[in-house]
């Protein structure tokens, strides 16, 4: 007797920004969660494999975003500009594009979005201060401002239409820390995937904001308000402590990139055409 294939929790998940650094990590790791993973990016990415759909989409194109979300159960939104850039580029993808996405999510009746926000929404807090998710926003650049917009927009769509969102204030998610600052902000790839899983599968999240960070020895962020997600990081920057002596990143009190949590983003902008 042939057994029917085991049902997966979701029929179709949408991952935007699938060609980016974090999207590439998530692409393979989220397949057990859905029958079909729909992958989207503004540029060409690797062709679809088993259980995948690939759709090229500009988030600034409202009709294209509406088509992109057809038949989708939940959205992992990692698309958009992820560094400091000219306002026009950030506005197109991170502000206009995000509005298009939430309108499509609302019109399609999709009930949950996992939104890749950023720790740069609080980048102007000093490195000597621990910040929770209720602290006033202090973005360190136009990119950070766009992520503040995203958190506010997602809150509106929850309050107005009941669309649940978990905003992930991601620190620095790489295979390993690349400088002394990342000893604090490091989010291991395994922990990123686990955080996304918790955000997606926790029964009720309402509008939740959480910091995406591993179990590092120095902490700038308090995740107490997001304890209901059940996220327990299993990795730490401790394994790389010999590479970056403690205090080396913030030794120069006259350097704002050393004094504030946003690091080099504080001096990356604004960027103008002329």
Mean per-residue pLDDT for 161-175?
A: 98
pLDDT at 244: 82
pLDDT at 246: 60
Mean per-residue pLDDT for 68-93?
A: 98
Range among 219-223, 256-260, 269-273 rated most confident: 219-223
Q: How confident is the model at residue 248 (pLDDT cuts 50, 70, 90)?
A: very low
pLDDT at 233: 98
> Secondary structure of the chain: what % helix, strand, coil (to 5)?
40, 20, 45
pTM of the model: 0.95
Q: How confident is the model at residue 273 (pLDDT cuts 50, 70, 90)?
A: confident
Taking only the tens place, the pLDDT of each residue in 181-190 is 999 999 999 9
Residue tagged active-site, from 143, 157, 211, 260? 143
Task: Count CB-CB contacts under 10 A for residue 88.
Answer: 10
Q: How confident is the model at residue 227 (pLDDT cuts 50, 70, 90)?
A: very high
pLDDT at 249: 47
- If you average pLDDT over every residue of the chain, what do you get? 94
For residue 120, pLDDT over 70 is answered with yes
Write the DSSP symbol of residue 203. S
Q: Is 143 a catalytic residue?
A: yes
Q: Cα–Cα distance between 127 and 122 in angstroms, integer?
A: 11
Two structure tokens written together for 40: 């989207």
pLDDT at 250: 46
DSSP bridge partners of 52 = 37
Helix axes 142-161, 97-108, angle to 10 degrees: 20
For residue 5, pLDDT over 60 is answered with no
pLDDT at 271: 94
For residue 206, pLDDT over 80 is answered with yes
Percent of the chain with pLDDT over 70: 94
Q: In terms of Cα–Cα distance, which of 84, 129, 121 is closest to 210?
A: 121
């Amino acid at each position: 007797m042939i057994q029917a294939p085991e049902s997966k929790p979701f029929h179709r998940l949408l991952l935007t920004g699938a060609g980016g650094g974090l999207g590439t990590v998530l692409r393979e790791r989220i397949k057990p969660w859905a029958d079909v993973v729909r992958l989207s990016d503004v540029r060409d990415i690797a062709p679809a494999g088993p259980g995948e759909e690939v759709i090229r989409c500009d988030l600034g194109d409202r009709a294209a975003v509406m088509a992109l979300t057809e038949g989708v159960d939940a959205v992992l939104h990692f698309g958009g500009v992820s560094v400091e850039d000219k306002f026009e580029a950030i506005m197109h993808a991170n502000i206009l594009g995000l509005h298009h996405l939430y309108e499509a999510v609302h019109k399609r009746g999709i009930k949950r979005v996992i939104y890749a926000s950023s720790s740069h929404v609080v980048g102007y807090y000093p490195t000597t201060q621990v910040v929770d998710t209720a602290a006033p926003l202090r973005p360190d650049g136009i990119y950070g401002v766009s992520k503040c917009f995203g958190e506010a927009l997602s809150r509106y769509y929850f309050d107005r239409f009941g669309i649940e969102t978990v905003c992930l204030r991601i620190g620095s998610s790489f295979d390993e820390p690349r400088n002394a600052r990342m000893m604090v902000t490091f989010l291991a790839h395994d922990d990123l995937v686990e955080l996304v899983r918790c955000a997606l599968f926790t029964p009720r999240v309402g509008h939740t904001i959480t910091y995406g960070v591993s179990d590092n020895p120095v902490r700038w962020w308090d995740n107490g308000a997001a304890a209901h997600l059940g996220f327990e990081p299993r990795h730490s920057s401790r394994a790389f402590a010999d590479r970056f002596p403690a205090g080396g990143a913030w030794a120069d009190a006259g350097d704002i990139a050393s004094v504030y949590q946003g690091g080099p983003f504080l001096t990356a902008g604004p960027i103008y055409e002329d």
